[in-house]
Amino acid sequence: MKKIKPYSAVTYTLDYSKNILELREKIIEDENYILGLDTKKEDQKDYLTNKYIHYRNKHLYYDLILRHEFGKSLLGNWSSKIYEDLYEKGWVMYRQDYSLTPTVHSDIEHAYIDFFHIHFDTYFPTHISLNSKIANNNYQQCRLAYFNQAYYICAQGLFPVIEYLHKVVGKFDGTSIFKIKENFDKTKDQVESITQPFKTNIDFYIKLIDNVNSLIKDHIFSKSIENDEEPIIINRNRLSHGIFTREISKKDCLQLFSIIMVLKGLNDIIEADSRRKLIVEELKNIELSLQKIQKEKKVA
């Protein structure tokens, strides 16, 4: 039986993306190896030792995901007047690992629009790891519409993706009528319960939850009739009923893409923390099994 080795090539920076990908490949390879073993023929101590190291690697994998996500918030500054002004215009700054300043020819909002447009693939990936193939396909079609400057089609398609992710993050159980304008009370509790990998507070993510909720309730999914003043922030009701008097722009779409990334990011850290806690329990069970084998050998 080969010995599974602990993953040790860890960098000590805020960007763990390379380590996460490397460790994921190792975990998949080791998982297949363990599943292929005939446990009746293998030495139980060696088998459990391998399994223990494998689960330690899995624990590290989810820990690195959390470190990677939380590391972004260390660079954030939610007290900045710039971010508050952008939020008033419909933006949620879900990542703080970039910093821009306006040029002589543009204001800060246009600087962010240009930045997100140029680096679209970096900040809005092709796959957002949804459990629903339909929702993920819808998202990918919206990306295609965006690249073809079909902004109306793109925005219209992003609304159901936002609703789907809102259900996932809010742990909607399907037993009642879904109302997207309800608060993320459960989500706040889950985020606040995460054991943080850095000695920082959780305000960055709580602020994201509050901002997304506010935009959804007061602007994007709010009621708006034809005689109302034309809103500067995109509104689903006006878009779906054809009562917008202005063209839908790439700014509108980028704002919706940003909300999707907030919801995805929140779900990622909640799921990573949940799986990490389950692995801790599994490690305890393996340790007990190894201790039992050790005692039985002493008695023999």
Q: Which residues, other chains included, contact 87 with Cβ-Cβ below 8 Å and sequence gap of 6+?
A: 93, 211, 215
Mean pLDDT of 95-118: 70
Neighbour-count burial for 231-259, b at 16+ CB within 10 Å, e otherwise: bebbbbbbbeeeebeeebebbbbbbbbbb
pLDDT value at residue 100: 60
Q: What is the largest CA-CA distance in the chain?
A: 87
pLDDT band, residue 178 (cuts 50/70/90): confident
E strand or H helix that includes residue 21:
helix 17-35
Q: Which residues, other chains included, contact 278 with Cβ-Cβ below 8 Å and sequence gap of 6+?
A: none
Least confident of 51-65, 112-126, 151-165: 112-126
pTM exceeding the 0.75 threshold for the entire prediction:
yes
Question: 82 or 60: which carries more pLDDT confidence?
Answer: 60
What would the pLDDT profile of 270-288 be if each residue is shown by its tens digit? 888 899 999 999 999 999 9
pLDDT value at residue 268: 86
What would the pLDDT profile of 207-228 be if each residue is shown by its tens digit? 788 888 889 888 999 888 878 8
Find out whether 67 and 200 touch, Cβ atoms under 8 Å: no
Amino acid at 119: H
